[in-house]
Structure 1
Amino acid sequence: MVQVLIADNHPVVRHGIRSTLEQHPSFHIMGDVGTTSELFHTLGKKQPDVLVMEMDIPEINGIAALRKLKQDHPNVKVLIYSGQSEDVYALSTIRSGASGYLSKAADLSYLADAVLKVSEGGMFITNELAQRLAFDEGTQKPRRFFRKLSTREVEVLKMLASGKRNKEVAQGLNLNEKTVSTYKARLMKKLNVDNMVDLLQQAKALELY
């Protein structure tokens, strides 16, 4: 059973997320909070598997709260959702430690899939968002790399960039090691590199770590 904590300052939104996730047999909602002080107080007593957090939760800026959370509670996986510009904030949240980003404008059906994927160690972004991430933050400069990569390839690259071995990537994404090797070969071809050092340099250029 995946233990989920919800953090949003709007009671109606918290109720909506809770109601949606409670329909899924794999989730248990262990609680919800409305501010970052409540959030860190709760995390001091009990920790969820997945935190579903609104980026604009009051008191501490969402990115700053995310960085503090990942520093103090590194095992808690975080799914950020927001009504803010995806082009500006999605990559920043992932770079700051989030395991996924979901727009409030996304179809509601994505929510349970996102929480489940994040709980299993994967990274969640929609294919639509992957396309929008083809632009630099605030500049609309094309990110040619992201345009070339599928969502799954971005996941594999991010995990490799974080130091995961093929076996760990396979376990985290529910793949077999041969499939991970295939993804690595695709990544090298798409990013025009022929070794892991250069591949990780490309991941750094994409600000995946």
Structure 2
Amino acid sequence: MTGVLTDTLRVLIGDDHRIVREGLKQILADAPDVRVVAEAQTGPEVLAQVAQLLGSAGLDLVLLDIALPDIDGLDVLQQLKRAHPKLPVLMLSTYPEKQYAVRCIKLGASGYLNKSADPDDMLAAVRKVAAGGVFLTPATAEALATAVGQGSAQAGPEALSHREHQVYRLLTQGQTVSEIGAQLGLAPNTVSTYRARILEKTGTKNDVELALYAERHARHRPGG
């Protein structure tokens, strides 16, 4: 079952870096009303753990990293919201709010928080999201307002579709078309088609320009 039905908030942490999971557990351990009941390192592990917990011990919240192996965190988010629409999911990332927050909220996340957030903000976000609310930092709120204001006239990474954005992120990490295809379960020519669309939408000519473009956009974060 979901929702806060006990005195303790039951949390699952989905992140592929052990040091991040340990840091999050340490922050949450300082709160008597929060308990980490499970952790997962990959997308499939998150989905399996959630299904198991909801069928037994219960779960109130998922803390989910965007950059998960095997299944992208945004895909995991979509699958969780389809299977368990009432289960709150708080997305965690090292990426600026401008790049990902709006996308996460549109896909059903109850909040978006940078991993470098203050521990007090982290706990406040966990409690608000577990209680059914939506947690927005000032930077996320600004990004949402900008997206609403731009409407269909969006440009840059925000204009990419979900799948295009996945390919975009992997391209800017230096992965080849074949590697991306293998990771996302797509044929190489399909990835090449996405790549062509991405270059067109971002106004870049090749992977080097695209990487520089991504770095430039990462620097210009709202409130940052």
2:136 maps to amino acid:
I
Take 2:116 and 2:40, find their aligned partners in 1: how far apart are those partners? Answer: 22
* Residue 111 of structure 2 is aligned to residue 126 of structure 1: no
Question: What do the CA deviations read for 1:118-146 (whole angstroms, capped 9, x no partner)?
Answer: 01110001123312433339737xxxxxx
Residue aligning to 1:197: none
Residue aligning to 1:64: 75
Q: CA deviation at 1:104?
A: 2.1
Question: What do the CA deviations read for 1:19-68 (whole angstroms, capped 9, x no partner)?
Answer: 10011011111011100111111122113200001111111122211111
Residue aligning to 1:207: none
2:77 maps to amino acid:
L
Q: CA deviation at 1:73?
A: 1.8
1:41 alignment partner, one of 37, 48, 52: 48
Question: What do the CA deviations read for 1:51-94 (whole angstroms, capped 9, x no partner)?
Answer: 00111111112221111111112232100011123112101111
1:139 maps to amino acid:
A
SS of equivalent residue, structure 1 residue 46: helix
Q: How many residues align?
A: 140
2:16 alignment partner, one of 9, 27, 35: 9
CA contact (8 A) 2:89 2:111 kept: yes
Residue ranges of structure 2 left out of the alignment (5+ in a row): 1-7, 157-224
Residue aligning to 2:204: none
1:9 maps to amino acid:
D
Residue ranges of structure 1 left out of the alignment (5+ in a row): 141-209
Take 1:26 and 1:87, find their aligned partners in 2: how far apart are those partners? Answer: 31
SS of equivalent residue, structure 2 residue 91: strand
Within 5 Å, which residues of 2 pair with 1:41-190? Answer: 41-47=48-54, 48-136=59-147, 139=155
TM-score of the superposition, structure 2-length normalised? 0.59
CA contact (8 A) 1:36 1:65 kept: yes
Which one has more relative contact order, counting CA pairs under 8 Å at least 6 apart?
2
SS of equivalent residue, structure 2 residue 85: coil
Q: CA RMSD in A?
A: 1.7
Identity %: 34
